[in-house]
Amino acid sequence: MTRSTNARIAGFTFFFYIAAGLSSLAVSNRAISGEGIAAKLASIAQHATDMRVIAVLTLLTSFCALVLGVTLYAITREQDPDLAMLALICRVVEGVNGATSLPRTLELLWLATATGANAPDTAAAHALGAFLLRGALASAQPSSPWPARSSPGSFCAAGWSPCHWPGSVSSRRC
């Protein structure tokens, strides 16, 4: 393929990736709502179709990450092969990481909709729900190398700020 074809595919995939990711986040906010584990599981049971849509959108965003990795590698490998390979590896890891959250979404759906002999007892459902919802909420958050802190000064207190790195010129400001 030519560079311009790869660029077109990458551009379309970026837009589709953003649309699918934001749609998945919006649908998951609606489907997984409520205070407490029992309320969230009840909300998931009421929005079973939304949970299936989330699973499909998760699969699509994972595929988009892989397509972006390949097309961006094809575009940038002539300029800097090492950087192109690093970007490809990051996109592949992102796609695989997204795909590994897919079973958790389907497990939540099963747990919320299980009835009869297949349904776990209340205590087990609560424990499984707490475990699965913890992971589902963490995977819905954008990834970042920085720890989630409430105030900008806490970065400095935790030593995460670049101003605490050895040789930093701005170490006195923090």
Give the model's pLDDT for residue 135.
57
How far apart are alpha carbons 50 and 47 in whole angstroms? 5
Number of H helices, E strands in the chain: 7, 0
Max distance between CA atoms of the chain, in angstroms, equals 65
Residue type, 121: D
Least confidently predicted of 59-73, 100-114, 133-147, 158-172: 158-172
* Alpha carbon distance, N-terminus to C-terminus of the chain: 50
Q: State the Cα–Cα distance between residues 133 and 60, nearest whole angstrom.
A: 21
Provide the pLDDT for residue 93: 94
What confidence tier does 173 reach under pLDDT thresholds 50, 70, 90? very low
Query: Taking 50 as the threshold, does the pLDDT of residue 95 lie above it?
Result: yes
Cα→Cα distances 170→21, 61, 146, 147, 165, Å: 37, 39, 19, 21, 9
Summarised one tens digit per residue, pLDDT across range 43-61 is 888 999 999 999 999 999 9
The answer, yes or no, to whether residue 19 has pLDDT greater than 60, is yes
Length reported for the chain: 174
Residue with tokens 């007892």: 121
Is the per-residue pLDDT at 155 higher than 60? no
pLDDT at 133 over 90: no
pLDDT for res 119: 80
Confidence of residue 2 (pLDDT cuts 50, 70, 90): confident
Task: Decide: pTM greater than 0.75.
Answer: no
Q: Yes or no: say if 136 and 107 are a contact pair by the CB < 8 Å rule.
A: no
E-strand stretches of the chain:
none
Q: Say what the pLDDT of residue 121 is.
A: 82
Q: What is the pLDDT of residue 172?
A: 43
pLDDT for 159 equals: 44
Q: What is the DSSP string of 28-41?
A: HHHHS-SSSHHHHH
User: Are the C-beta atoms of residues 55 and 105 closer than 8 Å to each other?
Assistant: yes
pLDDT for 65 equals 94
* CB proximity list for 168: less than 8 A, separation 6 or greater: 162
Nearest to 59, CA basis, from 2, 92, 97, 98: 98
